[in-house]
Amino acid sequence: MKGFPELMINRITFFLLSFSFAFALAPNGTRAAQVKFELDFDQAANHYVTIQATFQTEGKNEIEVFMPVWTPGSYLVREYSRNIETIVAKDQSGHSRILRKTKKNRWTVDCQDSTSVTVSYKLYCREMSVRTNWIEEDFGILNGAPTFLTEINSMDVPHIVKVNLPKKWKSVATALPQHNGQPYSFVAKDFDQLVDSPMLLGTLDSAAFELGGAQHDLVNLGGDGLWDVKKAAEDVKKIVAEHQKIWQTVPYRRYRFLNAIVETGGGLEHDNSTLMMTSRWSFGTRSRYQSWLGLVSHEFFHTWNIRRLRPIELVNYDFENESYFRTLWIAEGVTSYYDDLLVKRAGLSSEKEYLSNLSKLIRSLQTTAGRLNQSLSDSSFDTWIKFYRPDENSKNSQISYYTKGAVAAFLLDAEIRNSTNSARSLDDVMRQLYQQYAGPKGYSSSQFRKIASEVAGKDLKNWFATVIDSTKELDFSTSLATYGLEFKPAPPSKKPTPPWTGLGLSAESGVITVTSVIRNSPGYKSGIQVDDEVISIDGYRIKSSDLGSRIGKYKAGDEKEVLLVRRGKIISKMIKFGKKPSLTWTIAKIAKPTPAQTRNLNSWLANPKKK
């Protein structure tokens, strides 16, 4: 493909040369610069790893080292250096050197008259997520950004990592190639690759398969025997096939799905691997297992979309500062659209199950008041200060670029299919974008929009202005009609519907506390605030045990007095109960779809042809 051969050759070259980087000679005949790390886990039971980082310093009076403040794929400054407890420096002779902290994540090290210095630091690792570190006596999970520091001027040299594995830990899984055949020793061609390569350490269970000329490994950590890794790998293979079919190129030689079964969730993408977290119970339940397959699909789609095909602002990572861009909805929202869709195309979910998931996605958007306050473009730009820091008012003020981005991708896909009689789709947009802008170029918002318009065969300027850049309500009618679908109302409930207050209530320790207030709801209009304690309704004391039944005694339109405690003072508010906005529909086929609608639906979902 256009632009791909050069990109592929470069990546293969880096892969093959990475084994010999540590022994390459500089032009003057001396050994090329490199950074070496040695990891010790003597205090794993207390969540510590001790790291020795050795830098070559011949001819230098001082070096400056730093630790990243964020990790690619998770757009929040997380201040990883806060987990460093002790840090010292010594030269090649073991003599202490002056180490001085100059910024929150930077240190200068005296290295005059030395050939190398070793910076040793003790790192606390007890935050279980795909973007942080966790170490305990049974296993370890390490990510690059919160683990390694490096010299400011040595980011482009090879970084070698030696792991001194505890006896009860059996192995290490990472996308980094082995260094010189040494066990538990790995080499990254530069600091970017080191940051991009998480590690699972402990007792691991794995299964492998080949597809598209590349090897793939599913590596499980944990699971207590409740996961069938071979069966899971068979399903992952089906998903991989659909992704390769979409992109029509395989830009890696080996890919590792690192699956930490640690009773939490999440996933983070990398060039040649992904780190995922799930539950031991996810394998045995269809709905939870499908959610895990959706996670696999999501993170693997990122192999192309965001890792190799990046917004222009992310082509070169700045590990110490935010990079602002308005196309995160493409990187995450489009990916969120394709994750469950490709699980369906892989034959791992039914048409009904996929449409149910799509219904939930749209329902989530349409029940979030923030959709009328923040555009998708602004949501992307503000991720650094808002998305990862939700508060009690976030539902009123914000929209998720994952959720609305996925819905927007659904609408854009339908728009293109509708305007081209299903000859082209969003698949074509993503392929063309990859062909033109993958690698060092990166793409801009205008370039994405230009390609989408070209593929659709019409100017989509107004579509983007409405769906991406404004807070106007979305129109689903044309998109659903393209596939012969409709919003089908749920059957009327036989149970009486309680009135709506728009209040989030907590009943912990017997105290009823307001936790959220939906904008323009009855509670919002009455002036009730977050953290108010509810004492009584209509003159009668209300207890946490009868909260639901008491509110259920009233009906929409009733106006009652509510007594509250706000910062120790009793106050009175009148609330007029309302009727909760109904979004209890699901997406379903219309009674009599046309042949064109059926063709569109089958093409979109890759439904099997009826014999």
* Element of type H or E holding 295: helix 286-301
Superfamily of domain 503-576: PDZ domain (2.30.42.10)
Residue 266 buriedness (CB in 10 A; 0-12 / 13-18 / 19+): middle
What letter does residue 305 receive in the DSSP assignment? B
d(CA 478, CA 510): 49
| Residues composing the chain | 611
pLDDT at res. 510: 87
- Angle of CA points 187, 306, 446, to nearest 5°: 145
Give the residue range(s) of CATH 2.60.40.3650 domains in the chain.
11-202
> With bands split at pLDDT 50, 70 and 90, how would you rate the model's confidence at 576?
very high
| pTM check: above 0.75 | yes
Tokens of 222: 């944990």
Residue 135 neighbours by CB under 8 Å, 6+ apart: 41, 44, 47, 48, 49, 125, 126, 141, 142
CA distance 312 to 440: 8
Considering only 29-38, 291-300, 375-384, which range has the smallest mean pLDDT? 29-38
Q: Give ranges for CATH 1.10.390.10 in the chain.
A: 205-303, 313-486
Q: How many angstroms separate the CA atoms of 265 and 261, rounded?
A: 9
pLDDT at 397 over 60: yes
505-521: b or e for each residue (b if 16 or more CB lie within 10 Å)?
Answer: beeeeeebbbebbbeeb
Strand order in the sheet with 214-222: 204-211, 214-222, 254-261, 273-278, 266-269
CA distance 465 to 478: 17
**What was the pLDDT predicted at 32?**
55
The rounded distance, in Å, linking the Cα atoms of 562 and 519 is 19
Per-residue model confidence as pLDDT tens digits over 93-118: 999 999 999 999 999 999 999 999 99
pLDDT of amino acid 33: 83
Q: How far is it, in rounded angstroms, from Cα 607 to Cα 598?
A: 10
- pLDDT given for residue 21 in this prediction: 41
Q: Residue 260: pLDDT above 50?
A: yes
Residue 252 falls in which region: left (phi positive, over 0), alpha (psi -120 to 50) or beta: beta
Q: What is the average pLDDT across 156-173?
A: 97
pLDDT (mean) for 269-290: 97
CATH 3.30.750.80 fits 11-202, yes or no: no
Helices 426-437 and 403-419 pack at an angle, to 10 degrees, of 100
pLDDT of amino acid 336 = 98
- Classify domain 313-486 at the CATH class level: mainly alpha
Pairing between β-strand 254-261 and β-strand 273-278 as defined by DSSP bridges: parallel
Beta bridge partner(s), residue 199: 142
What is the spatial distance between Cα 303 and Cα 470, in angstroms, rounded to a whole number?
30
pLDDT class of 610 with cuts at 50, 70, 90: low
Q: Decide the pairing of beta strands 159-164 and 35-40.
A: parallel
The Cβ of residue 398 has, within 10 Å, a number of other Cβ atoms equal to: 21
489 or 81: which leads in pLDDT: 81
pLDDT value, residue 11: 38
Question: What pLDDT sits at residue 582?
Answer: 74
**Mean pLDDT, residues 436-463 taken together:** 98
φ, ψ of residue 241 to 5 degrees: the values are -60, -40
The single-letter code of the amino acid at 435 is Q
Tens-place pLDDT, residues 218-252: 999 999 999 999 999 999 999 999 999 999 999 99
* Interatomic CA distance for residues 387 and 347, integer angstroms: 33
- Cα end-to-end distance, the chain, whole Å: 35
Strands (E), 273-363: 273-278
Q: What is the pLDDT of residues 297-344, one digit of tens each?
A: 999 999 999 999 999 999 999 999 999 999 999 999 999 999 999 999
Model pLDDT, residue 179 = 97
Is the predicted pLDDT of residue 74 greater than 70, yes or no? Answer: yes
Q: What is the pLDDT of residue 608?
A: 83
Cα distances from 472 to residues 369, 410, 468, 475, 581, in angstroms, run 12, 17, 9, 9, 18
Is the pLDDT confidence value at 80 over 80?
yes
* Runs of H (alpha helix) within 281-375: 286-301, 328, 335-345, 351-366
> Could you tell me the pLDDT band of residue 66, with boundaries at 50, 70 and 90?
very high
User: Measuring CA to CA, which residue among 171, 181, 247 is closest to residue 203?
Assistant: 171
Phi, psi of 260, deg, nearest 5: -90, 115
Distance between CA atoms of 373 and 610, rounded to whole angstroms?
Answer: 46
Average pLDDT over residues 536-547: 91
Residue 492 pLDDT class (50, 70, 90 cuts): confident
What is the separation of C-alpha 418 from the centre of its chain, rounded to a whole number of angstroms? 31
Token digits of residue 99: 């180490």
183 vs 171: CA distance, rounded Å: 9
Q: Name the amino acid, one letter, at 314.
A: L
What's the rounded Cα separation, in Å, for the pair 532 and 528?
Answer: 7
Any idea which architecture 205-303 has in CATH? Orthogonal Bundle (1.10)
What mean pLDDT, rounded, does the chain reach? 93
- Binning pLDDT at 50, 70 and 90, where does residue 29 land? very low
Kindly state the average pLDDT of the residues 459-472. 98
Is residue 320 classed exposed, middle or buried when 0-12, 13-18 and 19+ CB atoms within 10 A define those classes? middle
- DSSP label at 321? S
pLDDT value at residue 5: 34
DSSP string, 218-247: EEEEE-TT---HHHHHHHHHHHHHHHHHHH
Indicate whether 17 pLDDT > 50: no
**Positions of CATH 2.30.42.10 in the chain:** 503-576
Longest dimension (CA), the chain: 89
The angle at the Cα of 447, spanning 442 to 453, to the nearest 5 degrees, equals 145
Per-residue model confidence (pLDDT) at position 6:
33
Output the pLDDT for position 43: 98
Q: What is the mean pLDDT of residues 145-149?
A: 98
> Are 327 and 306 spatial neighbours (Cβ–Cβ below 8 Å)?
no
DSSP assignment letter at 472: P
